[in-house]
């Protein structure tokens, strides 16, 4: 179980990066959305124990990650664009570091590498950004950590590789695993996501399961303006709107529409519905 209790963090110049974050993240795949500079990466770093909160605590199975207990850190893996692997190849990385992760699976590693058309012996230093990303993704999926944090995992991947990544996430993420994906490429992961967190200027606007969101909000598209819409926008001749949900007729969640609405003047009315007890 991942819990953040009243977590705040400021940069050295006093700029607030995170402001009183309170959220419990269950198992499943969760999308972390926010504009550049909203605090997404800082939040992931605190969860991973790479930064320490100014106030509050981040708990993994009841243990504060800032204590950097080896037993706790072995449950967490973070991967970002600038993640450096201290090995010449992914196979060497597995030999060096897999003992720190009790659930590491060589079989999952080889299946992921094979899906990407790789052997694991390729030299990381000689790879393109996309190929290096594929090798690293194969490795972090094989670790099978309780908590997996992916910061823009689709960056540098071509269309076919993105599709392979989705298939691998569907195959190898186990039911007890908590995966948080921070990305601006929302549509890549729409069919896998079970929860959504939206952060803006260091504040967590909402953190809910997709099921709960669609029981509170309806997402509709029509050729005509939608009456009584909480939020509406027009795109390519169609009106896309958010309404209070009809519990008997739930709709599919439109991630981009929700994100746009929460960064609009309509955000207060939408949040009042989402966050109602």
Query: Which domains occur in the chain, in start order?
Result: 2-201 (3.40.50.300), 209-274 (no CATH)
State pLDDT tens for residues 140-177. 999 999 999 999 999 889 999 999 999 999 999 999 99
* DSSP per-residue letters across 158-213: -HHHHHHHHHHHHHH--TT-EEEEE-S-GGGTTTT--EEEEEETTEEEEEEEHHHH
Q: Are 60 and 2 in contact (CB under 8 A)?
A: yes
Tens of pLDDT along 167-195?
999 999 999 999 999 988 887 888 899 99
Q: How confident is the model at residue 82 (pLDDT cuts 50, 70, 90)?
A: confident
**Per-residue confidence band for 81, with pLDDT thresholds at 50, 70 and 90:** confident
- Tell me what pLDDT residue 273 has: 94
pTM of the entire predicted model:
0.93
Predicted confidence band of residue 84 (pLDDT cuts 50, 70, 90): confident
Query: For all residues of the chain together, what is the average pLDDT?
Result: 93
């Amino acid at each position: 179980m991942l819990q953040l209790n009243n977590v705040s963090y400021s940069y050295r110049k006093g700029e607030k990066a995170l402001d009183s974050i309170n959220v419990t993240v269950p198992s499943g795949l969760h999308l972390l959305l926010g504009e550049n500079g909203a605090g997404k990466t800082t939040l992931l770093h605190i969860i991973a124990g790479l930064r320490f909160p100014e106030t509050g605590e981040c708990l993994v199975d009841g243990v504060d990650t800032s204590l950097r207990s080896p037993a706790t850190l072995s449950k967490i893996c973070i991967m970002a664009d600038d993640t450096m692997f201290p090995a010449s190849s992914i196979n060497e990385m597995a030999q060096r570091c897999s003992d720190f992760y009790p659930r590491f699976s060589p079989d999952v590693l080889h299946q992921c590498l094979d899906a990407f058309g790789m052997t694991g012996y390729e030299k990381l230093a000689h790879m393109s950004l996309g190929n290096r990303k594929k090798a690293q993704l194969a490795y972090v999926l094989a670790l099978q950590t309780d908590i997996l944090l992916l910061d823009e995992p689709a960056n540098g991947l071509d269309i076919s590789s993105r599709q392979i990544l989705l298939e691998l996430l569907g195959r190898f993420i186990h039911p007890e695993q908590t995966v948080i994906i921070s990305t601006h490429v929302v549509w890549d992961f729409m069919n896998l996501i079970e929860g959504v967190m939206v952060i803006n200027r260091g504040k967590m606007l909402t953190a809910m399961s997709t099921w709960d969101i669609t029981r509170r909000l309806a997402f509709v598209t029509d050729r005509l303006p939608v009456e009584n819409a909480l939020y509406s926008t027009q795109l390519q001749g169609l009106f896309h709107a958010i309404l209070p949900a009809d519990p008997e007729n739930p709709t599919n969640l439109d991630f981009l529409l929700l994100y746009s609405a929460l960064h609009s003047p309509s955000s207060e009315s939408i949040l009042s519905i989402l966050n109602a007890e």
